[in-house]
């Protein structure tokens, strides 16, 4: 049994006792005994590695490798201190998997394994492929990958899935004002232009009449998109 933990970044802002526990083999043994994992993983755990991939603010991303007699599985753990939004993420992933974004589809999302509110911890299967940003940097013709990401987004926008977290018109106007203030602070020489654009946007938002709503992805950029060849 092996266990590899990388703690080479700043750790001051994290609850280290919880983080240490999340990278212990006994923690993984405990959750393997629950119904959260695939029933096919009933084989004894023969090898285990936990590696911290990234720390940022209150978030830690952990890479788990679980080795069994005839196979190995990779999982991603997200620990974010005192953040209930991970529960929302877990719920959204489950809903998407049950509505056309599951394993049988080429356009899918990772399978969520479990969410532990008391630990602010979410575990999911590791997505197959690599970040789209790496494709842009290393592949001569990224066109097919870009088309695949566009198809995924189109599939989401055209679905009939209902998700929690719908924003009201007032919420969206408040967000526009917030972004305008932030942009004006960051770029004071463009303050008048930013405010003019913001005013036009808010006028359009106020004039908009509610229609049928569709889910969107609020953070769809190359670092968050995992792609693989057909």
pLDDT digits (tens, 9 = 90+) for 11-56: 445 578 888 899 999 998 888 887 777 766 667 888 899 999 988 8
Whether residue 6 lies inside any domain: the answer is: no
- Based on the structure, what is the number of domains in the chain? 3
The rounded Cα 110 to chain-centroid distance in angstroms is: 9
The answer to which of 1-15, 23-37, 112-126 has the lowest mean pLDDT is: 1-15
State mean pLDDT over 107-124. Answer: 93
My answer on whether 148 and 199 are in the same domain is no
- The secondary structure of 9-66 as a DSSP string is S--TTS-HHHHHHHTSHHHHHHHHTSTTS-GGG-SPP-EEEEEEEEEETTEEEEEEEE
For residue 94, the tally of other CB atoms under 10 A from its CB is 14
pLDDT digits (tens, 9 = 90+) for 71-87: 888 999 999 988 888 99
- The pLDDT value recorded for residue 32 is 84
My answer on whether 67 and 86 are in the same domain is yes
Whether residue 91 lies inside any domain: the answer is: yes
Q: Which residues pair with 226 in a beta bridge?
A: 131
Judged against a pLDDT cut of 70, whether residue 57 lies above it is answered with yes
My answer on whether 139 and 53 are in the same domain is no
Angstrom CA distances, 199 to 37, 134, 150, 177, 182, stand at 50, 37, 30, 9, 15
Judged against a pLDDT cut of 60, whether residue 9 lies above it is answered with no
Global pTM exceeds 0.85: no
- The pLDDT value recorded for residue 226 is 93
CATH classification of the domain holding 118: 3.30.200
My answer on whether 107 and 200 are in the same domain is no
My answer on whether 110 and 197 are in the same domain is no
My answer on whether 98 and 158 are in the same domain is no
Whether residue 2 lies inside any domain: the answer is: no
Of the candidates 113, 12, 115, 124, the one whose C-alpha atom is nearest the C-alpha of residue 61 is 124
Whether residue 9 lies inside any domain: the answer is: no
Whether residue 3 lies inside any domain: the answer is: no
- The pLDDT value recorded for residue 1 is 55
Whether residue 114 lies inside any domain: the answer is: yes
Structural domain span for residue 199: 169-207
Mean pLDDT (the chain) is 87
């Amino acid at each position: 049994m092996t266990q590899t933990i990388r703690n080479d970044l700043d750790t001051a802002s994290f609850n280290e006792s919880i983080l240490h526990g999340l990278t212990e083999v006994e923690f993984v043994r405990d959750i393997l005994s629950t119904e959260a994992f695939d029933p096919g993983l009933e084989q004894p755990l023969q090898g285990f590695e936990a590696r911290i991939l990234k720390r940022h603010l209150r978030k830690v991303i952990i890479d788990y490798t679980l080795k069994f007699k005839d196979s190995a599985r990779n999982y991603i753990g997200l620990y974010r201190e005192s953040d209930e939004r991970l529960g929302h993420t877990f719920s959204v992933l489950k809903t998407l998997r049950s509505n056309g974004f599951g394993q049988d589809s080429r356009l899918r999302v990772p399978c969520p394994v479990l969410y532990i509110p008391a630990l602010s911890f979410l575990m999911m299967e590791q997505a197959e492929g690599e970040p789209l940003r790496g494709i842009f940097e290393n592949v001569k013709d990224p066109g097919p990958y870009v088309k695949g990401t566009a198809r995924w987004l189109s599939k989401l926008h055209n679905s009939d899935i209902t998700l929690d977290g719908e924003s009201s018109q007032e919420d969206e106007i408040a967000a526009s004002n917030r972004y305008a203030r932030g942009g004006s602070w960051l770029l004071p020489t463009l303050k008048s232009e930013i405010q003019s654009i913001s005013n036009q946007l808010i006028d359009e938002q106020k004039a908009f009449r509610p229609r049928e709503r569709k889910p969107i992805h609020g953070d769809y950029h190359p670092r968050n998109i995992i792609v693989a060849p057909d």
